[in-house]
Amino acid sequence: MQSITLQDFRSLLGQSIAVLDIRDKGAYKENHIKGAISMPTTSLPNRLAELDKNTTYYVLSHSGRRSEIIAEFLNNHGYQAVHVIGGMKALKQVAA
């Protein structure tokens, strides 16, 4: 499974990338990356058909633990997914 450091991920922001935010809808509504796709972990298995297997998704969770699991799950199902190390929690800390 492929992972990306927060520093490298931040350098991609502003480019045309697909960010998959797997946090719950409340957390997404509170703060998210502009253009990120909201697909909470609980609904993801039922919504796989909404994803394109030719697109690379940068998977983002709160702290990075769930995104690692979900990125592996997506890769095992034929999708291209990259785990963002540290998640939104680390991204907020770096931005502060």
pLDDT, mean over the chain: 93
Cβ–Cβ contacts within 10 Å for residue 81, how many? Answer: 24
Superfamily of domain 2-95: Rhodanese-like domain (3.40.250.10)
Q: How confident is the model over 19-26, as a mean pLDDT?
A: 97
pLDDT, tens digit (0-9, with 9 covering 90-100), for 57-80: 999 999 999 999 999 999 999 999
Note whether 86 and 9 are within 8 A (CB). no
Helix (H) or strand (E) holding 26: helix 25-30
Interatomic CA distance for residues 8 and 23, integer angstroms: 21
| Res 96: pLDDT | 43
Q: pTM of this prediction? A: 0.93
